[in-house]
Amino acid sequence: MNSLQVTEAAEQLAESGTESNESIRTDEFSLEVMRFEPGDEDPLHAHAEEEIYHINAGSAELNIDGDIRSVSPGDVIHLEPGTDHQFRNFEEELVMTVMYAPAKGSNN
């Protein structure tokens, strides 16, 4: 069994000044906790894996292939492989978990 306390993981990210940390990894999937602050930038990018984002805290905008939408706690977003996306306009701390399937980097 693997378990994760997202609030604690986000606090560790804040203390270390890093944006994300892979918390769980198997061959089939990987799970990261990500944290952004006002003024941070997330460049437009895509991944080779399926992605599922769960917004844990905060709010921002999400640009998906030019379609801009607001995200807030409780939102779940699924992105197909190769989907250009970018989180932006962080008005407060944004904390989210993201699951990649298969594990991030294994499809490269």
Q: What is the pLDDT of residues 22-51, one digit of tens each?
A: 999 999 999 999 999 999 999 999 999 999
Picking from 106, 22, 73, the residue whose alpha carbon sits closest to that of residue 9 is 22
Amino acid 69: pLDDT: 96
Amino acid 49: pLDDT: 96
> Length of the chain, please?
108
Picking from 28, 32, 24, the residue whose alpha carbon sits closest to that of residue 53 is 32
Amino acid 21: pLDDT: 94
Question: Tell me, what amino acid is at 73?
Answer: P
Antiparallel, parallel or unpaired: β 67-71 and 94-101: unpaired
List the chain domain ranges.
Answer: 6-101
CATH superfamily placement of domain 6-101: Jelly Rolls (2.60.120.10)
Asked whether the CA dihedral 9, 37, 59, 24 is positive or negative, the reply is: negative
Amino acid 1: pLDDT: 87
Q: What is the pLDDT of residues 56-97, one digit of tens each?
A: 999 999 999 999 999 999 999 999 999 999 999 998 999 999
